[in-house]
Homo-oligomer: A and B are copies of this chain.
Amino acid sequence: MAEQAQFEELARQLSAVGAVKRDLGRILPPDCPNGSAAVLTLLGRHGDMRMSKLAELLSVDMSVTSRHVAHVAARGWIERLPDPADKRSRILRLTPAGLAQLDELSRRTTHLLAERLADWTDEEVGQLIRLMTRLRDSFGDCRSASSACRVPAPVLEETTRTPANT
């Protein structure tokens, strides 16, 4: 178990990494904001899927997913096919135009990252990816796995003073 000071620092870095995300967002193609890019990326990586599955991968509410998907579909980058197994559902699929857009996305982001991280080693980038993935799992497992994280965290009452941590 890590120390409290570490958790504070981690929280700060999580907040600060937003600046990197914004930098990446600024170089996206026209009409393709972050939300659209995320949809295309996940469809390219995981293949055809339903809305609910995409919402889960995005870790956002399905209403949000619906908006992003509508935006992407309106530009012809994906199509929404009927699901023969369930008429309420829709299957999302990248179109050739969507694939081309995804290509462009990938080119831009990797170019920027390659430029900024020019002095990083392969191993360092891999390590960061592994740790971020694990971080996400440590949080995300709570959303699907209902038991473990369901423990409603000791509700902080007490005073406004920090107990001299361990």
Residues of A within 8 A of B (CB): 1-4, 6-24, 27, 34, 37-38, 41, 45, 59-60, 100, 103-104, 106-122, 124-129, 131-136, 138-140, 142, 149-154, 156, 160-162
B156 touches A7 (CB 8 A): no
Also in contact, A24 and B14, with CB within 8 A (given A2-B126, A119-B152):
yes
B17 touches A132 (CB 8 A): yes
Within the assembled complex, what's the spacing in Å between the Cα atoms of A128 and B153? 22
Also in contact, A110 and B160, with CB within 8 A (given A20-B136, A115-B153):
no
Q: Which residue of B lies closest to A154 (CB)?
A: B111
Also in contact, A2 and B107, with CB within 8 A (given A7-B114, A13-B129):
no
Contact residues in B for A59 (Cβ distance below 8 Å): 16, 18-19, 22
5 more CB-based (< 8 A) A-B contacts, given A8-B110, A124-B131, A128-B131: A20-B136, A22-B59, A104-B160, A115-B151, A119-B152
Within the assembled complex, what's the spacing in Å between the Cα atoms of A3 and B103? 16
CB-contact partner of A156 in B13, B108, B149, under 8 A: B108
Contact residues in B for A45 (Cβ distance below 8 Å): 12
Within the assembled complex, what's the spacing in Å between the Cα atoms of A155 and B108? 9
Also in contact, A17 and B136, with CB within 8 A (given A10-B113, A11-B110):
yes
